[in-house]
Structure 1
Amino acid sequence: MTDTIASFKPKAIVFDLLTGLLDSWTIWDASTPTGTSLEGLKWRKQYLEVTYGSTVYGPGSTYEELVSRAAAESGLPSSSPEALHKNWKDLKAWPEVGQVLRELRKKGYLLGIVTNCSRELGHAAVRSAERAAEEAEGEGEGSWKFDAAVTAEETGWYKPAVEAYHGILPLLGDVKPEEVLFVAGSAGDVVGASKAGFRVVWNNHVGLERKGDVLPLREGQSLDEALRDFL
């Protein structure tokens, strides 16, 4: 496995957003009646099951609708998804993300995001990750940008559909699937991105269980650990 990593030189590194780069789990917890992971974790795991089983983005299966459906199936009131939308502005990157992004940019990789999200909330969340890179060097708002970012609403597909991952490729220019390293945030991403022809590492920051028999090149509990062969 180590030899495979050492020999792989990606042209682009593409990230899952809401777990791979951001601690969205905290605001999910805060949006429940108890404000704790006791309810938030159950809701979030149900959301992952619902979203990764939906495939097509559209009427009846928009991001906001699936979040609400997962809340109801977890026994939570409608006030929870409403609170999540309100708390979205509080999204923060994992502590190491800003510096890691800056180091990857210095090494010349194209950097992109594929996220199972609506256009509005997805690009607001992208700014949270970009802000972390700016703050790492004390730079001003808007001074650091990803090369490309695409949401499920924009591609019409939810991960782990291959089309969801491939939706980023035209935005990155002359990049083929085999030239992409994908940073997964969940077990579903490990499987889905691999099927899309990407090589995969997993930032398993929250300790999720593996699914299937597809393994990432490396699994870490932080972004820098998952990407240590490329920094």
Structure 2
Amino acid sequence: MTTPPSPPNPKAIIFDLLTGLLDSWTLWDASTPTGTSLEGRKWRKQYLEVTFGSTVYGPGSTYEELVARSAGESGLPNSAPEALLQNWKDLTAWPEVGRVLRALREKGYLLGVVTNCSKKLGHAAVRNAEKAAEGAGEGTWKFDAAVTAEETGWYKPAVQAYHGILPLLGEGVRPEDVLFVAGSAGDVVGATKAGFRVVWNNHVGLERKGDVLPLREGKSLDEALRDFL
């Protein structure tokens, strides 16, 4: 197995959104006919396979289309993806997200998001993570940058999907300056291939893929980012 070398302190910490920061799994479960993880987890895992296997974002492979496709491939009716998109505003952050984001900002890291999502849904979900940070302190709170698959034209794990955020972080931020917080096994492999250092917030206990290991794996952001908090 290969493990990336331990980095100096990064300039930027970039997050996967829908598992790294948000509990989208509960919303997927609730959107199924039974409202349970029995159907929801099967659908969500198929969704990860479909999105991480699509590469290019465009007609026939938009985010909403892939959500619907993965539902059908999981044996679910059209009502499931329709319910998911209708209730998208209900996405919530993991309990520690607000506190951790504020702690990282105080340490001077640039903070951003790279997500396999449409522009509209992705930035709406980003705002939910920002609200969690606002709830953990005073005043407004914003990421330094956030980019979706629709905006870059690429789905993770394509290198272009990860590198699409670099110009938004300012001059001088290179791949080796980034620590990426993965939400899925595909992100661990993809972000490492993109030249990022990687930790994994494996909040839902997903299985590893391949022989690439993160610097650290934890079941919360506190665990995954222990060396940087």
- The two structures share one fold, judged by TM-score above 0.5: yes
Give the Cα separation in 1 of the matches to 2:169 and 2:147: 11
Give the Cα separation in 1 of the matches to 2:180 and 2:115: 12
Give the Cα separation in 2 of the matches to 1:120 and 1:97: 22
Pick one of 165, 169, 173 that aligns with 2:166: 169
Gaps of 5+ in 2: none
Larger relative helix fraction: 1
The 4+ residue runs of structure 1 with deviation greater than 4 A are none
Give the Cα separation in 2 of the matches to 1:41 and 1:9: 35
SS at match of 1:230: coil
| 1:82-121 equivalences in 2 (<5 Å) | 82-121=82-121
Q: 1:127: which partner in 2?
A: 127
Give the Cα separation in 2 of the matches to 1:9 and 1:100: 16
Give the Cα separation in 2 of the matches to 1:136 and 1:77: 39
Gaps of 5+ in 1: none
Pick one of 140, 147, 150 that aligns with 1:150: 147
Pick one of 192, 195, 220 that aligns with 2:193: 195
Give the Cα separation in 2 of the matches to 1:208 and 1:169: 28
Give the Cα separation in 1 of the matches to 2:125 and 2:88: 8
Deviations 1:22-44 (A, max 9, x none): 00000000000000000000000
Q: 2:46: which partner in 1?
A: 46
Give the Cα separation in 2 of the matches to 1:57 and 1:95: 31
SS at match of 1:65: helix
Report the Cα offset of residue 86 of structure 1: 1.1
When normalised by structure 2's length, the TM-score is 0.97
SS at match of 1:144: coil
Deviations 1:14-72 (A, max 9, x none): 00000000000000000000000000000000000000000000000000000000000
Report the Cα offset of residue 9 of structure 1: 1.0
Give the Cα separation in 1 of the matches to 2:222 and 2:151: 29
Give the Cα separation in 1 of the matches to 2:103 and 2:221: 12
Note if 1:185 corresponds to 2:176.
Answer: no
Give the Cα separation in 2 of the matches to 1:133 and 1:119: 21
Q: Give the length in aligned residue pairs.
A: 227
Which letter does structure 1 place at the counterpart of 2:209? K
Deviations 1:75-133 (A, max 9, x none): 00001000001111111000000000000000000000000000000000000000000
Question: Could you tell me the percent identity over the aligned residues?
Answer: 85
